[in-house]
Chains A and B, each alone.
Chain A
């Protein structure tokens, strides 16, 4: 019930391509879905987040797509750049509890120049 499953584990994309990372959750009480970006040696940083009242949110080259019925959400990175090479984590939280975050296991993205 508490898991968030993330795929793929690693991803290699050519510069200018689209990177897509997927997450699936089980707990229907989750109502906040953030994505975090982590560079080596640094802490994760909030990239973009969505709540289930919308199906898509876009911020620059980053888009979250949300499918409530399928209990899935994904991160799309358009025009991927070498500077986007990092590890990406999805997460889920619920406002009907203690706001604990459950994180996915992470996706290591490498964008080739």
Chain B
């Protein structure tokens, strides 16, 4: 059971480049989210999805796009990288039960540097 798999683990981009951060889970979880982690700011929600075909914005969505064509995959696209997007990105998934939220399972993160 792999859990939540994120690729790549490290990436350096030049300003203006685009790229896709991959996230896949094999736990049949409905809910998936992308967070970014910056020093002193905790985990901030970028985008989330409550199921295939359904996505919505979080706290800091500008400069990022997502799609959810399958239950398993939830890629995060950086449209035109900026130095302010230098961060550690985490993907997480969860399957609420009986109408209640449950704990998220996090991936191991992607450390992105934009120069």
Contact = CB atoms under 8 A, between A and B. Distances in A.
Contacts of A43: 4, 90, 92, 106-109
Interface in A15-66: 31-32, 34, 36, 41-46, 49, 51
A98 B100 contact: no
Interface residues of A, number: 27
B37 to A, nearest CB: 9
B50 interface: yes
A95 B98 CA distance: 10
Contacts of A102: 45
Interface in B1-28: 4
Nearest to A9: B40
Contacts of A94: 101
A99 B101 CA distance: 6
B108 to A, nearest CB: 5
Nearest to A92: B101
Interface string B19-50: 00000000000010101000011111100101
* B interface majority secondary structure: strand
Interface of B: 4, 31, 33, 35, 40-45, 48, 50, 56, 58, 90, 92, 94, 96, 99-109
Contacts of B42: 6, 89, 103-106
A101 B40 contact: no
* A interface majority secondary structure: loop
Given A43-B106, A43-B108, A95 B43 contact: no
* 8 nearest CB pairs, A to B: A43-B106, A46-B103, A105-B42, A93-B101, A99-B101, A103-B43, A32-B101, A103-B42
A36 to B, nearest CB: 8
A1 B81 CA distance: 31
B53 to A, nearest CB: 15
Nearest to B106: A43
Contacts of A34: 103-104
Contact of A98 (B40, B44, B56, B90): B56
A75 B107 CA distance: 24
